[in-house]
Amino acid sequence: MDERMRNRRISLIQCDIALGEPAVNVRRIKEMLQSAAEAEDKPDVIVLPEMWNTGYAMDRLRALAERDDMHGIRRAISELAARYQVQIVAGSIAEQRNGKLYNTMYVYNRRGEEIASYSKIHLFRLMEEEKYLEQGKVIGRFDLEGLSCGGAICYDIRFPELSRALALRGVHAMFVPAQWPHPRLNHWRSLLIARAIENQMYVVACNRVGDSGTQSFCGHSMIIDPWGDIIAEGGEGEQMVSGVIDLQLVHEVRSSIPVFSDRQPQYYD
Ligand SMILES: NC(=O)CCC(=O)C(=O)O
């Protein structure tokens, strides 16, 4: 196997988000994407956090959420992916489609083509998502140059059924954009590690930092390998968190403990 296809460098942009300021956020994210893509150790994949265009400005979301590319978000990310020939898991954005609001992840290949989207399935009541957002109805699967990937957005990681459904569809790496606040840092870290161990897959999770209203977001973006070891972890400030993932390790872990052949689904429902 081509070594570059096997080992991939991933960079997570752990950043603050300006509440209800899409123009500010788009400008900052474009700058950060550009500097990530121009880094000496250029990543194969760049990952962004959840709802990075608006933050949780829920009561103003109908006016602020992206519709008809009004802030040029999808076009801008696509152009950056193509210009730097880098793959981008563009976190998620608040968007309006057919009059409904969604929290949606978009994914771009090195040619700037939009290859997948996933709208958050499990809406988080503590941040009033269920009042304002429509839930997604389809799980998110995509392929990054031979790496079989899945998407889960923040609260989704509390539902092991979703990551297991992705694993059963052959996923090797689950990407998790998030806006996860204190005081639940231990849940964030433990759930991500558990999802990686139980599904024997990489978990690549990009959280935001900074304060917004009463919330203080805890960062600690992480790349976790299929054995559950943390290969990169951020602190609580703005930073790039980078690491290399190796598809071969997924196969090695899955053959050392054959969890998928030992499942007994006839007893689970
Ligand atoms: N944005 C979210 O989905 C937050 C989820 C969260 O904080 C949790 O504890 O779950």
CATH code, 232: 3.60.110.10
Taking the centre of ligand 1 as the mean of its atom positions, its distance from the CA of residue 180, in whole angstroms, is: 5
Cα 142 to Cα 79: distance, rounded to the nearest angstrom: 20
User: Considering only CA atoms, which of 175, 171, 173 is closest in space to residue 106?
Assistant: 175
Does pTM top 0.90 for this prediction?
Answer: yes
Beta strands (DSSP E) in 26-109 are 45-47, 87-97, 100-108
Q: Is 100 annotated in the active site?
A: no
Find the residues whose C-beta lies inside 6 A of ligand 1. 50, 124, 127, 154-155, 158, 179-181, 184, 187
Work out the percent of the chain whose per-residue pLDDT is above 90.
Answer: 97
Tens digit of pLDDT per residue, the chain (269 long)? 565 567 999 999 999 999 999 999 999 999 999 999 999 999 999 999 999 999 999 999 999 999 999 999 999 999 999 999 999 999 999 999 999 999 999 999 999 999 999 999 999 999 999 999 999 999 999 999 999 999 999 999 999 999 999 999 999 999 999 999 999 999 999 999 999 999 999 999 999 999 998 999 999 999 999 999 999 999 999 999 999 999 999 999 999 999 999 999 999 98
Domain count, the chain: 1
Pocket test for ligand 1, best of 184, 191, 207, 208 (most atoms within 8 A of CB): 184
Task: State which ligand 1 atom lies nearest to the alpha carbon of 155.
Answer: 3
- How far apart (Å, rounded) are the C-alpha atoms in residues 29 and 235? 19
> 38 CA distance to ligand 1 centroid (A)?
32
At which residue do the structure tokens 């609001």 appear? 101
Taking the centre of ligand 1 as the mean of its atom positions, its distance from the CA of residue 207, in whole angstroms, is 10
Residue 154 bears catalytic tag: yes
The active-site residue, picked from 95, 120, 134, 218, is 120
Question: Got the DSSP string for 184-232?
Answer: -HHHHHHHHHHHHHHHTSEEEEEE-EEEETTEEEE---EEE-TTS-EEE
pLDDT tens profile 229-248? 999 999 999 999 999 999 99
| Region at 46 (left for phi over 0; alpha for psi -120 to 50; beta for the rest) | beta
Q: Active site includes 50?
A: yes
Domain residue limits at 233: 3-267
Of 56, 58, 93, 57, give the one whose Cα is nearest residue 72. 93
Q: Which of 15, 95, 149, 154 is catalytic?
A: 154
* CA 146 – ligand 1 centroid, Å: 30
